[in-house]
Amino acid sequence: MPRAVSPPPLLLLLLSLCVFRASHGCLPDTASAYRFTGIVCRLTYPAAAVLNEKTTKVIEAAFKHAKYPSVKGEKSLLFTGKVTYGLDNLEIHNLSIGRSVFELHPGEGIAMEISNVSAIFRGTIQYGYGSWLVNLAHSVDFEIESQIDLGINPKLYCSEGKVAADTSDCYLNFHKLRLHLQGDKEPNWLKKLFTDFITFTVKLVIKGQICKEINKVANILADFIQDTAKEFLKIGDIVVDIGITTAPVITANYIESYHKGLTSYNNTSSVISESLFHPSQLTEDRMLYFWVSDQVFNPMFTAAHQDGYLKLNISGPELTELFKTNLSNAMPDFTRKCLLESASPELRVWSSSVPYLNTSTLGTRVWAQASGQLDCGSQGTLSFQMDVAVDVTASYADKKLFLHGNPSKVLVSHAEMPSQLLDKAQLEFIREAVEKIGIPKALSVLEIELTKVLDQQGTYLFDISNPEVFPRDGFVLIQMDFGFPHHLLVDFLRKTLQ
Ligand SMILES: *[C@@H]1O[C@H](CO)[C@@H](O)[C@H](O)[C@H]1NC(C)=O
Ligand SMILES: *[C@@H]1O[C@H](CO)[C@@H](O)[C@H](O)[C@H]1NC(C)=O
Ligand SMILES: *[C@@H]1O[C@H](CO)[C@@H](O)[C@H](O)[C@H]1NC(C)=O
Ligand SMILES: *[C@@H]1O[C@H](CO)[C@@H](O)[C@H](O)[C@H]1NC(C)=O
Ligand SMILES: *[C@@H]1O[C@H](CO)[C@@H](O)[C@H](O)[C@H]1NC(C)=O
Ligand SMILES: *[C@@H]1O[C@H](CO)[C@@H](O)[C@H](O)[C@H]1NC(C)=O
Ligand SMILES: *[C@@H]1O[C@H](CO)[C@@H](O)[C@H](O)[C@H]1NC(C)=O
């Protein structure tokens, strides 16, 4: 597949948090794409600034890694006839980068300027006189002191369903280019010739190679990123397409990307066509925002239910430990005997209808119907069924997702034991156990699974600070600041370029 991605490397890396790429086309008009957008990612100027701090590392790598080709030529001179020359072994030394600044240009792209790149180029000049000369007879080492400003104006666009960037607008300005010939034993006219020739040639060579190399490093980085952060989330057989619906929008203060958020499972795919997204739902003061519609979560839970994910078996000490929770209702004899006396009691709980969730400013309310069995071996099995509604809020800390549940309804719709009628107290115990033991346990299992999904996307790699999750009407808003771990970039550059 041809790859068009070659943005400024670190901004690209950031954009990858808002993963891109998709399998279908892109809608030309952003506003009309909102309706089909399940997930939105907004990356603000402060976030881009964090990445820009690391840009110099990438530029440095581009300079150091560039291969400067040998150059050959000949020149006619008034008195000596022709001089044939070659320029070989060009190497870069003592590279230092002054500073790197960038701007977001609304509707256009990103402008980056890397100023005061100072470097010393070393190489060898070979030369000979006259057109008859086949072998270059003389050689002299040279050194060039240079000071360069570098500008790149990548344009972001949507191409074949993925974010692409055009970095062809790349330029170099030379402030200084001073040649020193080793030994200085050459005649003055020759020195003059080489100064003009080398200054001119080196400019061309460096210019061509550096822009090319920046492109290349950016592409390698893009591959690296897209290896870590894929265009879909995968949970077993459940796949969530997070390709983009339209080109990202750039304003003076943020870059925003629009993603489908469609769940595919068992050969069917969800559809989003009435999304409620509007840019005014997000602010601009945090570094990174995610907007996620209920229309993304619901099909995911439906698929999870169909795939038998929403199931839990608990036995052994884990089960005994769970029932140590302090409940106000006394534990019925049957349960006590089951837990203490049967050989290997087991509790099985599973979703028995498709769960449904609806987010409002109070939280995400999850409606579910669940069935359970407490299997006590020879003592029999307690079966029960319940309807629950839980208001769930989420938070993220220490690289883990936390879910907090507040049950708003717990109804035991059915309960039975083979040889026993359940009385009111027993039913009440089951209800309380579901509320105080069952729901927290289910959420804690979900926490672990969802943290795994986030880690698949490389979330754990970033130093996330003060993340907040806000429930809103019909969607969840997640916002955070982050630091870009220096070691991540250094490792990457070392592995790929050495
Ligand atoms: C290049 O760096 C080396 C080692 O840091 C130093 O000895 C040398 O003087 C530098 N060359 C120039 C021309 O600054
Ligand atoms: C570039 O470096 C020179 C000397 O090292 C300094 O005088 C100048 O202010 C620098 N310019 C920028 C834009 O950093
Ligand atoms: C998958 O879909 C087919 C029909 O499209 C259905 O018969 C089957 O039960 C589904 N499997 C699951 C696990 O939902
Ligand atoms: C999906 O459809 C393909 C062909 O249409 C079929 O080979 C495959 O078994 C189906 N998968 C499921 C899970 O139904
Ligand atoms: C739970 O237990 C049932 C019955 O013992 C078994 O069929 C099922 O595979 C178990 N599920 C898990 C996730 O262990
Ligand atoms: C259990 O609950 C009772 C009354 O509700 C209370 O007195 C007791 O301190 C609680 N024990 C624990 C360990 O929470
Ligand atoms: C979901 O919540 C919204 C308010 O956010 C409410 O208007 C709507 O009726 C709710 N839907 C269901 C099915 O409860």
Same domain, 301 and 224: no
Same domain, 170 and 259: no
Please tell me the distance between residue 380's alpha carbon and the centre of ligand 5 in angstroms.
17
Please tell me the distance between residue 237's alpha carbon and the centre of ligand 3 in angstroms.
13
Question: pLDDT tens string for the chain (498 positions)?
Answer: 222 222 334 444 444 444 443 334 456 677 888 999 999 989 888 887 776 777 777 777 777 777 778 878 777 766 667 777 788 888 888 888 888 887 888 877 777 788 888 889 888 888 777 655 445 577 888 888 889 898 887 765 555 545 555 667 788 888 888 888 876 566 676 677 777 777 787 788 888 887 877 776 666 655 555 555 556 778 889 999 888 788 778 888 988 888 899 999 999 999 999 999 999 999 999 998 999 999 999 999 999 999 998 999 999 889 989 998 889 999 988 888 888 888 889 999 999 999 999 999 989 999 999 999 999 888 889 999 999 999 999 999 988 999 999 999 999 999 998 777 788 888 999 999 999 999 999 999 999 988 988 887 777 777 889 999 999 999 999 999 988 777 766 776 666 655
Structure-token pair, residue 411: 């109804």
For residue 483, the surrounding DSSP H or E stretch is strand 475-483
In a domain, 5, yes or no: no
Nearest to 63 by CA among 162, 147, 179, 187: 147
pLDDT of 26? 57
Nearest to 9 by CA among 39, 67, 40, 48: 48
Give the CA count within 13 Å in the CB-facing half-sphere of 279. 18
The interaxial angle of helices 188-228 and 45-65, nearest 10 deg, is: 130
Same domain, 416 and 440: yes
Q: Residue with the nearest Cα to atom 11 of ligand 7?
A: 358
In a domain, 145, yes or no: yes
Instruction: Please give the single-letter amino acid code of residue 70.
Output: S
CA–CA distance, 150 with 116 (Å, rounded to integer): 8
CA–CA distance, 176 with 438 (Å, rounded to integer): 72
Q: Residue with the nearest Cα to atom 1 of ligand 1?
A: 94
400-404 contacts at long range (C-beta below 8 A, 24 or more positions apart): 400/447, 400/451, 401/447, 401/450, 401/451, 401/454, 402/447, 403/443, 403/444, 403/446, 403/447, 403/450, 404/443
CA 286 from centre of chain: 17
pLDDT of 75? 75
| Domain interval for residue 250 | 232-483
Q: Residue with the nearest Cα to atom 9 of ligand 7?
A: 358
Phi, psi of 189 (to 5 degrees): -65, -35
Same domain, 217 and 245: no
Please tell me the distance between residue 117's alpha carbon and the centre of ligand 2 in angstroms.
9
Q: Residue with the nearest Cα to atom 7 of ligand 1?
A: 94
In a domain, 206, yes or no: yes
First to last CA, the chain: 26
The domain tally of the chain equals 2
In a domain, 4, yes or no: no
Rounded to 10 degrees, the C-alpha dihedral 182/183/189/191 comes to 10
pLDDT of 155? 65
Does residue 348 have its Cβ closer than 6 Å to ligand 5?
yes
CA–CA distance, 334 with 52 (Å, rounded to integer): 65
Same domain, 104 and 225: yes
Please tell me the distance between residue 326's alpha carbon and the centre of ligand 6 in angstroms.
6
Instruction: Please give the single-letter amino acid code of residue 235.
Output: I
CA–CA distance, 285 with 45 (Å, rounded to integer): 9
Domain end (from 229, 248, 270): 229
The atom number, within ligand 7, closest to the CA of 356 reads 13
Please tell me the distance between residue 95's alpha carbon and the centre of ligand 1 in angstroms.
10
Beta-sheet pairing, 162-166 with 475-483: unpaired
Same domain, 236 and 222: no
Please tell me the distance between residue 193's alpha carbon and the centre of ligand 2 in angstroms.
30
Query: In CATH, what number is assigned to the domain containing residue 278?
Result: 3.15.20.10
The atom number, within ligand 5, closest to the CA of 311 reads 13
Q: Residue with the nearest Cα to atom 11 of ligand 1?
A: 94
In a domain, 17, yes or no: no
CA–CA distance, 100 with 52 (Å, rounded to integer): 7
CA–CA distance, 187 with 79 (Å, rounded to integer): 14
Structure-token pair, residue 224: 């690296």
Q: Residue with the nearest Cα to atom 10 of ligand 3?
A: 266
Does residue 311 have its Cβ closer than 6 Å to ligand 5?
yes
pLDDT of 24? 40
In a domain, 39, yes or no: no
Residue 37, classed as helix, strand or coil, is coil
Same domain, 210 and 350: no
Residue 96, classed as helix, strand or coil, is strand
Q: How far is CA 460 from CA 104, 236, 354, 448, in A?
A: 28, 20, 31, 13
Same domain, 104 and 130: yes
2-5 contacts at long range (C-beta below 8 A, 24 or more positions apart): 3/219, 3/222, 3/223, 4/159, 4/162, 4/164, 4/165, 4/166, 5/162, 5/163, 5/164, 5/165, 5/218, 5/219, 5/222
In a domain, 236, yes or no: yes
Question: Per DSSP, what are the bridge partners of residue 249?
Answer: 256
Q: Residue with the nearest Cα to atom 13 of ligand 4?
A: 266
In a domain, 21, yes or no: no
CA–CA distance, 343 with 322 (Å, rounded to integer): 17
Does residue 456 have its Cβ closer than 6 Å to ligand 3?
no
Instruction: Please give the single-letter amino acid code of residue 468.
Output: E
Same domain, 199 and 341: no
pLDDT of 367? 96
Same domain, 243 and 105: no
Phi, psi of 469 (to 5 degrees): -120, 115
Same domain, 237 and 211: no
The interaxial angle of helices 486-497 and 188-228, nearest 10 deg, is: 120
Structure-token pair, residue 175: 């402030």
Q: How far is CA 228 from CA 19, 125, 222, 362, in A?
A: 10, 45, 10, 34
Specify the residue for token string 């019909």. Answer: 474
CA–CA distance, 475 with 83 (Å, rounded to integer): 73
Query: In CATH, what number is assigned to the domain containing residue 169?
Result: 3.15.10.10
Same domain, 215 and 237: no
Domain end (from 192, 214, 229): 229
Does residue 266 have its Cβ closer than 6 Å to ligand 3?
yes
Instruction: Please give the single-letter amino acid code of residue 329.
Output: N
Structure-token pair, residue 21: 């790429």
Domain end (from 212, 229, 246): 229
Please tell me the distance between residue 141's alpha carbon and the centre of ligand 2 in angstroms.
29
Residues with beta carbon inside 6 Å of ligand 2? 98-99, 115-116
